[in-house]
Amino acid sequence: MSGKRTFTMIKPDAVESGNIGNILQMISNAGFSIKAMKFTQLSEERAKAFYAVHAERPFYGELVDYMSSGPIVAAILEKDNAVEDFRTLIGSTDPAEAAEGTIRKKYAESKGRNAVHGSDSDENAQIEGEFHFDANEVI
């Protein structure tokens, strides 16, 4: 049974390009409601920890530098089938391969600077939400 919550970040490139509002509008239009949200910035250490699963990948250093380079918006979202439906809304990792009308197709700059994060499983949605929010910050 799939869960009702997922975790997202609007990444530094999309914040810098002024697209927080546009992306939140797309998220809302797709039927997600916001259960927690904050404007924040990851330290290098926090970015390393968040993406520890990718530590052996060749792009890890670049990813950590980018994700700690500027402010982000972190949020917990709710909808039926949240994880899968949100991955559909954001599109493929590489915007060149992302479907028309997806957030990454519209707003991502590149495979690395790709505008948004979306959890890939219910288990990771829980872990990632807890990484960014204390229980009393979640509705």
Q: What residues from 64 to 123 belong to the interface with Mg ion (CB under 5 A)?
A: 120
117 catalytic residue (yes or no): yes
Q: How many residues bind ligand IDP (CB under 6 A)?
A: 10
Alpha-carbon distances of 1 from 76, 84, 93, 122, rounded to whole Å = 19, 12, 25, 10
Spatial distance between the Cα atoms of 63 and 50, rounded to a whole number of angstroms:
11
Catalytic residue among 117, 118, 129, 132: 117
Query: Of residues 5, 48, 117, 132, which one binds ligand IDP by CB under 6 A?
Result: 117
The number of CA neighbours under 13 Å toward the Cβ of 23 is 31
Instruction: Calculate Rg over the CA atoms of the chain.
Output: 14
Candidate residues 73, 82, 114, 132; the one interacting with ligand IDP per rule CB under 6 A = 114
Of residues 116-135, which lie at the interface with Mg ion (CB under 5 A)? 120
| Run of H or E including 17 | none
Q: Which of 42, 47, 63, 74 binds ligand IDP (CB under 6 A)?
A: 63
Q: CA 73, CA 80: separation in Å to the nearest integer?
A: 22
Q: Does 112 bind ligand IDP (CB under 6 A)?
A: yes
Residues that bind ligand IDP (CB under 6 A): 54, 59, 62-63, 93, 111-112, 114, 117, 120
